[in-house]
Structure 1
Amino acid sequence: MAIEVFNRYENKYLLDHDAYLRFYSDLLDYMELDEYNKQHEFYTISNLYFDTPNDSLIRTSLSKPKYKEKLRLRSYGVPGADAKVYLEMKKKVFGLVNKRRTGLKLHEAYAFVGSGVEPAFQPYMNKQVMEEIKYFLSRYKLEPKVYLAYERKALFSKESRDLRITFDTNIRHRRHDLGLELGDHGELLDPSNKWLLEVKAENTVPLWLSRLLSEHGLFRTSFSKYGNEFKKTVRHAGMSIPFAERERVSYV
């Protein structure tokens, strides 16, 4: 969970519970649980997404441009004010995901995003990423918009750490209590609570994985947690989304 800079391709799939159990069982012949999951069945990931007052980042993302970017603050579990969290800038260019993140204390992260002023450098920070996020913050007036949390099970290939597979469940969201320290409660994003499977690879996936996906009848889907949360929120509020956005973004 400490990787700070990487590029990879991410493919997503939605599974019901029985399909998850079958696929996960077969994966264990080729993959092993990450260190944290060896001690706990799942771990909780909490995210706070930032956007402009008129939601320009997520609206742009939903229009499926060749380039898109977003900023989020992530913690593992519910953090205290002095807990280490991760401020992440995520970009996607022609399908290639670039994620850059730096460790910060929770209060430092809030102050940095709110003011655009870097905190005093500490050993747990990534100086280059801090500079890049500072430039990002200079381009947008950002505010916390949505909290998203879920339980995750993660595996790595026994042959290469370049291949990672994650299963996310109990994806929940809220647009109140917008602080990571305020608990991990929220409304289920999908009442049927399907599993979100993500295949994350720096290069092409191995043949054994392609075969397994085919044998289990799993097909790639377009799924953004923040994107689907935004669509759900807009729909419940009776607001409108441009037609292209409605057509191109799947909703569970």
Structure 2
Amino acid sequence: MAIEVFNRSECKFLIDKDVYEALNIKLLEYMKRDDYNKVHDFYTISNIYYDTKDNFLIRNSLTKPKYKEKLRIRAYGVPHIDDKVYLEIKKKVNGLGNKRRTSIKLRETYEVLSTGEKPKLESYMNKQVINEIQYMLKLYNLEPKAYIAYDRKAMFGKDNREVRITFDTNIRTRRYDLKLEAGDYGEPLLEKGKCLMEVKVEKNIPIWLARLLSEYKIYKASFSKYGNEYKKMLINNKNMKGEMNKCLTQYSAQYQMQQLVTQFP
């Protein structure tokens, strides 16, 4: 069974194309390509992010709280309605990222998210994750909000798979046709020639990687794909100009309860 629970720290960096090309060659001395990249240089990841009607989850996330969470559907490429995808909860507590996901057919996913009811459990599903998703759906009234897709290259450490580096390019988004099977298209999120690099580790960044980051003058950046998509949407929509200044009150009681959580389940 594929790994369905991840605990790791993440560092993000916005780099130029020429830096990516030079760094990519250097990294292959220490790392090997993800299985998805053994055939193609990049592979496509597509997501639908779910949020409340008033965008509580992403507005709360942008305030950089100690605890935050997101819910999304993830697929590789453009799935058909009966293909298996991933239904994921992504959390962050005190800077440590945690991702919990289950395999599920796309048709089943839409039914779960629209009704809040558990699906008929199948062998490819993770029962515990399904329970957590159902609890989240009871806590928040969620609806599809944004499609975000990108082309990715991923690498693992040759001697230590705890080190993972990804490069995401051609990030595109839309807030219409919010179905994964509707196709892969949208407006660009990054300026041309830029690439989002993410370093994901369970412990510390290895010394050789720290030296490479220093050599190429690569510095940490705060960049959330969904967060930046949301901020771009606000800029483009004058009617929502004051949205970021609204009080986060609708789910305050539930959220305060969740902030008492000190460790992952």
- Alignment TM-score, normalising by the size of structure 2: 0.90
Pair 1:99 & 2:99 matched:
yes
Tell me the equivalent position of 2:245.
242
Q: Give 1:15-34 correspondences, 5 Å limit.
A: 15-34=15-34
Instruction: Write out aligned runs for 1:70-219 (5 A).
Output: 70-219=70-219
Distance 1:50 1:128 in 2: 20
Aligned partners of 2:139 and 2:64: how far apart in 1? Answer: 21
Task: Specify the alignment match of 1:10 in structure 2.
Answer: 10
Extract unaligned runs of 5+ from structure 2: 247-265
User: 1: CA distance between counterparts of 2:115 and 2:193?
Assistant: 37
Q: Give aligned pairs, total.
A: 243
Q: Is the 8 A contact 1:15 1:196 kept in 2?
A: yes
CA displacement at 1:193 relative to structure 2: 4.5
Equivalent residue, structure 2, for 1:247: none
- Paired position in structure 1 for 2:59: 59
Q: Which runs of 5+ in 1 are unaligned?
A: 244-252
Q: Tell me how far apart the structure 1 counterparts of residues 193 and 134 of structure 2 sit (CA, whole Å).
A: 37
SS of alignment partner, residue 230 of structure 1: helix
Task: Give me the whole-angstrom Cα distance separating, in 1, the residues matched to 2:193 and 2:172.
Answer: 10
Cα distance in structure 2, aligned partners of 1:183 and 1:6: 28
Cα distance in structure 2, aligned partners of 1:137 and 1:63 = 22
Write the distance in 1 (CA, Å) between the matches of 2:163 and 2:23: 16
- CA shift for structure 1 position 2: 3.3
Asked whether the equivalents of residues 171 and 193 of structure 1 are also in contact (C-alpha less than 8 Å), the reply is no
| Identical counterparts, % of pairs | 58
Distance 1:83 1:49 in 2: 18
- TM score, norm. by length of structure 1: 0.94
